[in-house]
Amino acid sequence: MRFLICSGTILLTGVSLFASKKIISPSTSAGNEQVDIIARIILAEDEVTQELGADPGKGIVLLKVRVVPKTDQPVQVSPDDFILLAHDDGERSKPFGPEEIAGAGRMVVSNTATAPTKKTEGFGGFGGMIGGGSGSSPGNSKPVALSSKVDSKSQGNTQLLDVLKAKELPETDAKDAVQGYLYFPLDGKHKLKNLAILYRGPAGKLNLEFEH
């Protein structure tokens, strides 16, 4: 009997340790009463190119996202509903639009805050870095001042622009599941476990962690 009790204790301990072990995966999901969101992130430059069938250039992280409405009411979906968060340094970024990556007029964006300067290259005037300090928490953005300068020598890439437009997550009122890609700028090297996707849209707030 004592042997059976000891064996049972060891088994329960093993199950508990297994259950508490966190998994790091490029695929993640989250949901609430209104919507489910399923996402897969692609970090390696060659894998991004292979997934898209075109090379968007360095510093672009690809997110394949699927939004599934769960009620009879349509859900407003927009690329601007999503933020890429790096837990290790608090960096946050909104996705670039296709014109910012492949359109004419290359834009260089730089941080003009008192903190050490960070630079990232974008194109156009809409997505990109929105800042955040090392103590930032999900959903509590700390915007920083940014300055931008257009590179008038850039003529754009029409072929790449067409690919990015065709595959981008559409801005729409969705009654059924909708999916597409988001193109995030990411400054520096970050481990997958330190990244997260924040959804801040009409259907509420959701945090999608890649370590769970």
Show me where the domains of the chain are located.
27-209
Would you say residue 61 has pLDDT above 80? yes
Q: pLDDT band at 3, cuts 50/70/90?
A: very low
Concatenated DSSP letters for the chain?
Answer: -HHHHHHHHHHHHHHHHHHH---B-SEEEEE-SSEEEEEEEE-SHHHHHHHHTS---TTEEEEEEEEEE-SSS-EEE-GGGEEEEETTT--EEEPBPHHHHHSSSEEEEEE-SSSPP-EEEEESSSSEEEE--TT--TT------EEEEEETT----HHHHHHHHHHBPP-EEESS-EEEEEEEE--S---GGGEEEEEEETTEEEEEESB-
Residue 187 confidence (pLDDT) = 84
Average pLDDT over residues 52-62: 95
Would you say residue 110 has pLDDT above 70? no
Would you say residue 81 has pLDDT above 80? yes
Average pLDDT over residues 158-172: 97
Q: pLDDT band at 21, cuts 50/70/90?
A: confident
Q: pLDDT band at 105, cuts 50/70/90?
A: low
